[in-house]
Structure 1
Amino acid sequence: MRKDITILGEKIKPGKTYQIKSDIARLHTRTKIEVPIIISRAKVDGPCVLISAGIHGDEVNGVEIVRQVVANKYNIPDAGMIICVPVVNVFGFLIKTREFPDGKDLNRSFPGAKNGSLASKFAHFFMNEIVVHVDYCIDFHTGGDTRFNYPQIRISDDDEETFNLAKTFGAKFVKYSSEREKSFRASAVASGKKVLLYEGGKALNINPKITNVGVTGILNVLESLGVKKMPSDHIPLHDGVKQVVFNESKWIRANASGMYRSLVENGLPIKKGEVIGLITDPYGFFERKIKSPVSGHVICLNHSPIVNQGDAIAHIAIKL
């Protein structure tokens, strides 16, 4: 790590912690929307780790994970530097929505452009002012709407170091997945960063187990990189189940509209032909079973009690 580091005009000195507020855009009322960035640098050189959440403003469980890291001072490194951005998309967080005020998905706007749309300008700022300084990224997401993701790490193909970090993180599921075009992960990987993308929980919801797996995963990775020793006061929650690595999965969709009742448990194995759930009408005259067309593990369930035909109701991981 370089001895002289300047981020957003602030010189980051060894042994110091900074809270810097970026100011790159305003609402249509001319109100400033500032994004707090918490930077802690050790006196000893080492890698720089970015811990970020809230690229989608309604994915608050990731925000809670990063908040706990900062509140417990787990972001104070023994070596190197840790940058925490608990809420990347403050715009969406304010009004509890995924999108930026321009209606765009920030996670489809990277690497951005200096003179592009609001989301594109912010993505350009984030890549060139923050990501440029880091070696490793841990980015936190949840399932959209009522879809609850079981804790899982998604990584790029053919990268042994990233795979080993994913195993170290400790989530039950590790998925090899190609990067989505213009996503933060795709742009960060293209710029030479090692990226772990954590999926857990659902939008506008905070779940203690999802939070605990996320915080413990961060501490596991930081310790393995030599950035921070595992705090003695942290008691991790273990599944007691071996990790499952997969590169193929299948979404199961509702075959009718109606009231929906799930019959399977998230995170557990499922066999081909097993009934996932029932769709009924509100009156007791109609019932339809939904069966799994494949064997694997359930990694996401739709928690909505009402579905339309074609809605995603379950996601099945097919083990390597």
Structure 2
Amino acid sequence: MKEPDILEILGQKIGLGQSAQLSFNVAKLHTQNTIDVPIIIERSKKPGPTVLITAGIHGDEVNGVEIVRQIISKGINKPRKGTIICVPVINVFGFLNMKREFPDGRDLNRVFPGISGGSLASRVAFKLVTEILPHADLVMDFHTGGADRFNAAQVRIIKTEKTLDELAKVFGPPFIFYSKNINKSFRNTCHKLGIPILLFEGGKSFNIDNTITNTGVNGVKRVLNHLEMLNRNFKVSQPKQSCIYLLDSKWIRAKYSGMFKATVNINSKVKKGDDLGNITDPYGSFNHFVKAPNDGFIFNINESPIIYQGDAIFHISTKVKE
């Protein structure tokens, strides 16, 4: 996509070399206070690609918001060429209340591309897709695991996309996870519009983890450097290890309810039959050891101390390419 000299977005015109902080008005609260989603735009004097960096589609995924916050506060979003658009918190409603969903109870990441006259979540999705997304040549979207489920740092992409394979490798996470696009998700909408998207997962909700944050920030720097957009003031570090491609995986579920403690660390490579953790009861009469069903990498761990039968407690790879 050829970058225009004048970027017209949300009714405002931003020229090359200019910066802007815009917002799109989502809705009014029942108190009549407005809720705005801030959009931070930085343009170089030199034309180039437009990169959209987003987080907070789920309001409780604070670590993703922290990654984008650091990108802005450190000035990484000021490009050597092209344009960088940052939306640190898309679901402002959820972020204010530390809830995953919108006040209407809907998961924003299941209503894309949205409808102009639909539910509150659907209207936000529609505005993002129609007002912001068309300007992007690449999207990097930041997420975390659900409540109590800690995700290893990973970039999720679909198979057979050469551009995504290249960019994910440049990002340099510990894991690249091939997963299908989910219907009505932001990622699937980007795919249908032909816009490459790297979806980063790491950590868990209601939590900020320094390792996850550093992995995300360093990954963005690598991708921007690859696109010749990173300001020369920043140094780019190489990943500490080569990416491991997760080709297939499965969840290990609890056979019993009880008190749970994992004994294996996230990112660990395990062998079939290895102890991963144990489930006990409060009375000291029961102790069940959770065993690895196959060789693989543990890339998600449930950190809840109390679990119920059937709960997902570990995500383990079943097929990898190292």
Indicate the SS of the match to 2:176. Answer: strand
Contact 2:259–2:279 (Cα < 8 Å) also in 1:
yes
Question: Is residue 283 of structure 2 the alignment partner of residue 283 of structure 1?
Answer: yes
**Cα distance in structure 2, aligned partners of 1:18 and 1:173:** 35
Contact 2:221–2:236 (Cα < 8 Å) also in 1:
no
Contact 1:47–1:135 (Cα < 8 Å) also in 2:
yes
**Cα distance in structure 2, aligned partners of 1:150 and 1:230:** 30
Residue in structure 2 matching 1:132, options 121, 131, 134: 134
Letter paired with 2:271: K
Shift of 1:28: 2.5
Q: Which residue pairs with 1:225 in the alignment?
A: 227
Q: Which residue pairs with 1:249 in the alignment?
A: 249
Question: Is residue 35 of structure 2 the alignment partner of residue 33 of structure 1?
Answer: yes
Shift of 1:143: 0.3
Q: Which residue pairs with 1:5 in the alignment?
A: 7
Question: Is residue 168 of structure 2 the alignment partner of residue 156 of structure 1?
Answer: no
TM-score, L = length of structure 2: 0.96
Indicate the SS of the match to 2:285. Answer: coil
Contact 1:213–1:237 (Cα < 8 Å) also in 2:
no
Shift of 1:158: 1.1
String of CA shifts for 1:89-147, please: whole Å, max 9, x gaps: 00000000100111000000100011111111110000010001001000000000000
Shift of 1:51: 0.6
Summarize the Cα distance change of 1:28–1:34 in structure 2 as closer, same or farther, 3 Å threshold.
same
Shift of 1:229: 4.0
Alignment of 1:137-216 (within 5 A): 137-216=139-218
Q: Which residue pairs with 1:294 in the alignment?
A: 294
**Cα distance in structure 2, aligned partners of 1:202 and 1:246:** 20
Letter paired with 2:296: G
**Cα distance in structure 2, aligned partners of 1:13 and 1:235:** 28
String of CA shifts for 1:12-70, please: whole Å, max 9, x gaps: 11111110021131222222111100001111111100110000000000000000010
Q: Which residue pairs with 2:52 in the alignment?
A: 50
Shift of 1:189: 1.1
Shift of 1:236: 4.8
Q: Which residue pairs with 2:68 in the alignment?
A: 66
Indicate the SS of the match to 1:28. Answer: coil
Contact 1:23–1:35 (Cα < 8 Å) also in 2:
yes
TM-score, L = length of structure 1: 0.97
Shift of 1:290: 1.2
**Cα distance in structure 2, aligned partners of 1:57 and 1:210:** 18
Contact 1:52–1:138 (Cα < 8 Å) also in 2:
yes
Indicate the SS of the match to 1:185. Answer: helix
**Cα distance in structure 2, aligned partners of 1:146 and 1:58:** 12
Indicate the SS of the match to 1:23. Answer: strand
Aligned residue-pair number: 318
Q: Which residue pairs with 1:312 in the alignment?
A: 312
Letter paired with 2:176: V
Q: Which residue pairs with 1:24 in the alignment?
A: 26
